[in-house]
Amino acid sequence: MYERPRYPRILVAIDETPAAAFALRHVVPYALDQNSHLTVVSVAANPPSFAAAAGISPQQRADQIDREAATHLREVAASLPENLSVTTLLRHGDPAEEILALLDEQPFDLLCLGARGRGRVTGALLGSVSTAVLHNSPVPVVVLHPPPAES
């Protein structure tokens, strides 16, 4: 009567927060067990123009954010099991909009993300973003909230 759900194509949205790491730790064993393909996306948010640090232009700040997000994405990918089928994507812009656009552009069966992330690279990737994708996603969404000790 109750069968284990099968999600062959899983999208995981990450940033540099413990909540994102928590979500990834939960989805990787499932993906391995089900032989699912995992796509890990990070969104480098465009910094507001007033957020440029002294002596750094908005473009230089955007480039710095992009480099940090790309480095983090590479590190995450390198930490994943070798027998896991993984694709990584780096998007630019508003995290919620980019995640939803990706769900429209490619066939995914499930979206996973951590709750209440406040990563410096992607801003508030998960909080208002998790709410936005929950209400607008064409696929099931799993939002994983780490216990207080991990967040």
pLDDT at 127: 60
In the predicted model, residues of the chain with pLDDT beneath 70 are 48-55, 116-127, 150-151
* Residue 78 in tokens: 């390198």
Domains of the chain and any CATH numbers? 9-144 (3.40.50.620)
pLDDT at 6: 93
Look at residues 129, 122, 149, 110 and name the one whose alpha carbon lies nearest to residue 18: 149
SS3 state of residue 120 = coil
pLDDT at 75: 95
The residue with tokens 């216990």 is 147
pLDDT at 73: 95
Query: Cα dist. 102→24, 49, 50, 55 in Å?
Result: 18, 26, 28, 35
Half-sphere exposure of 20 (CA within 13 A, CB side): 26
